[in-house]
Amino acid sequence: MDFSWTTEQLEFKQSVIEFASKELNGDIVDRDLHGEFSRRSWEKCARFGIQGLPVPEEYGGLGADILTAMLAMEALGYSCKDNGLIFGINAQMWSVQHPILKFGTPEQKQKYLPRLCSGEIIGAHGMSEPDSGSDAYSLKLRAEPCGDGYLLNGTKTLVTNAPIADVAVVFGTVDPGKGRWGITAFIVEAGTPGFSSSRNMHKMGLRTSPIGELIFQDCYVPEENRLGAEGAGAAIFNSSMEWERACILAGAVGAMERQLGDCLNYARDRRQFGQSIGKFQSISNRLADMKVRLETARLLLYKVAWLIKSGKSAALEAAMAKLYVSEAYVQSSLDAIRIHGGYGYMTEFEVERSLRDAIGGTLYSGTSDIQRNIIARLLGV
């Protein structure tokens, strides 16, 4: 494995840091408090090229390889304090753009990818249902063949970007008796008769990223909006999840680096009992643990990106990275609060927000328990 970076990659990383530091951190405490999504920040990221990182230039993207894209998202996590914004962008990149790029027809790619990359439209990914979460293939949304298309009926829940989405990649079953082999993917645009979304559902963390339901009531979708072949939905979902689990927490690694830097500065400046608190072993040990978690998380992510770039399977490594990085971010966020003491518990000091945001990482894109199940299964247990 070779994780050495070219001059161009490092310069691009620095440009992301400078852009985000200058443009994306305004009013984050207030927007987090009120759960406000910033369309302006989303569009700024699009103009910079963030959403288009992994998309070929012919479809409006930057055509970056996965290692470069991951490095850029790590830089964004380091310099942008709006974890919800980064999460929403990741959800679109890996769960909407990637499946359209890999499985879409030329017409579908040309119709949706340039507008997703430019920020003109926002995408959502509908898989989870009220009675189908970790057991993903037990979904109930029915896609009944009807004329030259399909009639969709059912509800998707806990959908990132749902309340603001202009287009959604949605999974339904054409025949429940076929199990996973009946699952089929569709591209559905906002404004389609019978398709609606719910209000923003308030949550513990990642509050600036809207989440809600997608509702289908006799929603007719023409065959040209089917994504991939009929019955290929499970394969499409697995492909997007491998990429999402590999990349969605790159921002968390960047945030962990910023978090460690803030804690180091505080531990040096804060004095108690006549010395800086970093001199006390209880504080210095926490800082050491944070550093070990950061570097371990970074290496796991880079390995996954290297495997994917090399054309190798990364299902096991992606599950390992998703499990470890999400859990490490939670633990380091707890350590950050303890290092800051009472100030770490106060909203205005912007330490406790990371913990609230980090906990979501143990749930979305497959819970930590599901990642352990995947790892065990791939080990042959």
- Active-site residues: which are they? 244
**Element at 221 (helix H, strand E):** strand 211-222
**Among 106, 5, 101, residue whose Cα is nearest residue 56:** 101
Residue type for 97, please? Q
Kindly tell me the sign of the dihedral angle through the C-alpha atoms of 234, 236, 242, 245: negative
100, amino acid identity: I
Measured CA to CA in angstroms, residue 266 lies from 107, 283, 288, 290, 351 at distances of 54, 11, 15, 14, 12
SS3 140: coil
**How many Cβ atoms are within 10 Å of 203's Cβ, its own excluded?**
16
Residues 33-57 as b/e (b if ≥16 CB within 10 A, e otherwise) read eebbbbeebbebbbebbbbbbbbee
Residues 6+ positions from 13 with CB-CB distance below 8 Å: 5, 71, 72, 74, 75
DSSP character string of 284-348: HHHHHHHHHHHHHHHHHHHHHHHHHHTT---HHHHHHHHHHHHHHHHHHHHHHHHHHGGGGGSGG
CA 159-160-164 angle, 5° bins: 100
Cβ contacts of 122 within 8 Å, gap of 6 or more: 42, 88, 92, 116, 161, 164, 165, 166, 167
Alpha helices, H only, the chain = 7-23, 28-34, 39-48, 66-79, 83-92, 98-103, 106-118, 233-247, 250-269, 281-309, 315-340, 352-360, 368-378
Token pair recorded at residue 233: 């939905």
- Among residues 268, 306, 308, 303, the alpha carbon closest in space to that of 284 is found at 268
